[in-house]
Structure 1
Amino acid sequence: MLLTVVALVVGLVLLVWSADRFVIGASATASILGVSPLVVGILIVGIGTSAPEMLVSAIAAADGQPGLAVGNALGSNITNIALILGFTALLIPLKVQSKLVTREIPLLILVMLVGYFLLSDGDLGFVDGSILLIGFVLVVVRQIWEAKHSKGDSIAAEFEAEIPRDMPLKIALMWLLFGFVLLIASARVLVWSAVEIAQFFGLSDLVIGLTVVAIGTSLPELAASVAAARKNEHDIAIGNVVGSNLFNLLGVMALPGVIAPGAIDAEVMSRDYPVMLLLTGIFFLVAFGPRKARRISRVEGGGLLAMYVAYLLYLLHDAGVY
């Protein structure tokens, strides 16, 4: 078991580090090739920070662990809003200024409702997964169009400051390739160790996916959001979470449906999906409601964080851990 725990920790560390290298390499390569900073930031960085979830879910589904894959998708979204945004706002109150970010929130809610409808029969089939993947492609095309036609948006300057400018193309391509290969290897180690730990403690793959794996694969978003907030790049901090949640629902959750279609755990629809919907609704009201428009205060961030802790405790209690 000690070896398994060490493998889990090493897998998580390498997953986070390789995702960072992959994003840096992809961003620098795209910038050198003349891609606009807004497209780089919204699309490349957005997909790059969701790459750990995508690879972990794909490998888990291929290995016959669809519960871990679904749990990773939903758990990452819950973690992104309650833990990452909550913790970031607790450190530094967040203000939302970008019109692009504000337009993504209703889309995220719509995608969640569509996902709920597709899963309401208790099955994540091939057709369901295909619909989600088509939605993923449509969202990517929409984001590229938005990035190319949005002039003077506040988030553009924030992305401009974040893109590496002094990296030669050979180095950028090296980090891009090396980061991707290491992402795959570390995701494989993470899935193996997570399944072993779940079996040792008698936990379901779903619970492990919702907790350990979801937190681990969300660490790139946490690091990116905190770093952006410290640089006063609040739109990146919030937009990073919103974009990641969109990609998780459409890309990550689609993979188990396409690769290993079948029934999902009943708890997904009775417990975890409603929690994700509730937290997203609270986030929308807090950030864009009439009382404090376009702002998440320290108190509200602390509230989100407290809800995440309460959810984790309930999840572990429901699983019989204590």
Structure 2
Amino acid sequence: MLNVLLFVAGLVALVGGAELLVRGASRLALAFGISPLVVGLTIVAFGTSAPEMAISAGAVLGGQTDLAVGNVVGSNIFNVLFVLGISALIAPLVVHRQVIRQEVPILIGASLLLAVLSLDGRLTLFDGALLLGLVIAYTVFLVVQSRRETRDAGVAAHGDAPANEYDTALQTPRGGARLPVQLALIVIGLGLLVVGSDWLVTAAVAFATALGVSDVVIGLTIVAAGTSMPEVATSIAAAIKGERDIAVGNAIGSSTFNILGCLGLSGLLAGSAGLVVPPALLAFDLWVMVAVALACLPIFLSGREIARWEGGVFLAYYVAYVAYLILAAQSHAALPAFSSVMMGFVVPLTVITLVVVLIRRPTGAPAH
């Protein structure tokens, strides 16, 4: 009964926290002249990745370094396939041109970098420092880029006015009197998301353990999905409220931050011993994460939106991935047949469908 109450309380905290976070973040973006996309890629994405950061850091300090990597890999697969999938089912997500041109390639690059660094079965102290340095540089770049675009737009609209007037305007947020309220909404929302996800994970792990599910499956599915519940709640709330830039930016930004920020910090905390990359993860799940990141490009390019049917494809693949993990963990007799159907029929059919849609759909579809 206690676990049931924890599960319900976690869901309530997630919904309330997501509502406050999206409201505060969208107003903060308007106040500072920063685009909602960048807020989704930075404040919202980094905030909703707090559970992954906490669990990965705690795992390293507790001596379970392999869990730190597994949590990030599982969360990234969940972020793209489940979070974007369910958000697109609620409302087709128009994809910002910047996401296609810049953010998805950065996520792909970060995923490939992690794969290369993991080939020796360990993330060293240097690897951690490199990843952490990259996330700092990425964040600074995004903010500077957004403010420059806002300033250029202002100068273009008032061509004869001195540029320094716009610099001054950008440094003074509009609605400054309400700035503390907006920041309070973000902080309270993040707090509720972190607490809610912790309650949800605790209850879900207890349920799974009672049902006899193995630790490996729990780590790659329930813990990874549970720590990504803030992303789920935030992206769904953003999609419902029409803040679709935040919905997409949150999922992509969180995935990038998971790799660069969470594993970067975890690598530093691990010290000279480094982070162990489990052989099973290196043989399969890590490459699924890379493939999922690569799959974003053709879907995003097909009309520059994630349509409802494409969201359905993402969700179906996540269900198939979880089914594979469960069958593999139990060495089930149905595993060979399941793998043959997926690789011989489902995957090729999806690729062919996406290619046809990419060719037929007009390239002038909406993008902002």
- TM above 0.5: yes
Q: Spell out, residue by residue over 1:64-114, the C-alpha distance to the aligned partner (whole angstroms, 9 max, x if none).
A: 333332222111111111111122223333322433553111111111111
Contact conserved, 1:15 with 1:182, CA < 8 A, in 2? yes
Give distance in 2, aligned partners of 1:185 and 1:37.
28
Counterpart selection for 1:262 from 267, 270, 275: 275
Offset at 1:247?
0.6
Residue 273 (str. 1) matches residue 286 (str. 2): yes
In structure 2, relative to structure 1, the CA distance for the partners of 1:257 and 1:180 (3 Å cut) is same
Contact conserved, 1:15 with 1:52, CA < 8 A, in 2? no
Match of 1:36 in 2: 33
Contact conserved, 1:25 with 1:176, CA < 8 A, in 2? yes
In structure 2, relative to structure 1, the CA distance for the partners of 1:126 and 1:196 (3 Å cut) is farther
Contact conserved, 1:20 with 1:220, CA < 8 A, in 2? no
State the superposition RMSD in angstroms. 3.6
Alignment of 1:78-157 (within 5 A): 78-100=77-99, 102-151=101-150
Offset at 1:54?
1.6
Question: In structure 2, what residue type is equivalent to 1:314?
Answer: Y
Contact conserved, 1:111 with 1:249, CA < 8 A, in 2? yes
Residue 247 (str. 1) matches residue 246 (str. 2): no
Q: Spell out, residue by residue over 1:161-206, the C-alpha distance to the aligned partner (whole angstroms, 9 max, x if none).
A: xx99798455555555556666666676677667777776776655
Q: Spell out, residue by residue over 1:25-71, the C-alpha distance to the aligned partner (whole angstroms, 9 max, x if none).
A: 6776x669x63332544422222222222223222322333333222
Match of 2:321 in 1: 311
Give distance in 2, aligned partners of 1:147 and 1:200.
49
Give distance in 2, aligned partners of 1:164 and 1:205.
50
Identify the range of structure 1 (55-64 vs 310-319) with the bigger mean alpha-carbon deviation.
55-64
Identify the range of structure 1 (82-91 vs 190-199) with the bigger mean alpha-carbon deviation.
190-199
Q: Which has the larger radius of gyration?
A: 2
In structure 2, relative to structure 1, the CA distance for the partners of 1:14 and 1:142 (3 Å cut) is same
Residue 226 (str. 1) matches residue 236 (str. 2): yes
Contact conserved, 1:69 with 1:253, CA < 8 A, in 2? yes
How high is the TM-score relative to the length of structure 2? 0.69
- Structure 1 residues without counterparts, runs of 5 or longer: 154-162
Aligned length: 307
In structure 2, relative to structure 1, the CA distance for the partners of 1:172 and 1:205 (3 Å cut) is farther
Match of 1:235 in 2: 245
Question: In structure 2, what residue type is equivalent to 1:125?
Answer: T
Partner of 1:150, secondary structure, is helix
- Aligned-pair identity in percent equals 41
In structure 2, relative to structure 1, the CA distance for the partners of 1:149 and 1:226 (3 Å cut) is same
Offset at 1:305?
1.0
- Structure 2 residues without counterparts, runs of 5 or longer: 154-172, 333-368
Contact conserved, 2:88 with 2:307, CA < 8 A, in 1? yes
Contact conserved, 1:198 with 1:205, CA < 8 A, in 2? no
Offset at 1:275?
0.8
Q: Spell out, residue by residue over 1:204-238, the C-alpha distance to the aligned partner (whole angstroms, 9 max, x if none).
A: 65532321122122222223323333344433322
Offset at 1:263?
1.8
Give distance in 1, aligned partners of 2:200 and 2:242.
33
Give distance in 2, aligned partners of 1:229 and 1:190.
22
Question: In structure 2, what residue type is equivalent to 1:266?
Answer: P
Give distance in 1, aligned partners of 2:246 and 2:187.
25
Counterpart selection for 1:208 from 199, 218, 232: 218
In structure 2, relative to structure 1, the CA distance for the partners of 1:20 and 1:216 (3 Å cut) is farther
Give distance in 2, aligned partners of 1:221 and 1:133.
21
Give distance in 2, aligned partners of 1:118 and 1:204.
28
Question: In structure 2, what residue type is equivalent to 1:213?
Answer: V
Give distance in 2, aligned partners of 1:147 and 1:271.
37
In structure 2, relative to structure 1, the CA distance for the partners of 1:20 and 1:297 (3 Å cut) is closer
Contact conserved, 1:115 with 1:249, CA < 8 A, in 2? yes
Counterpart selection for 2:296 from 283, 291, 294: 283
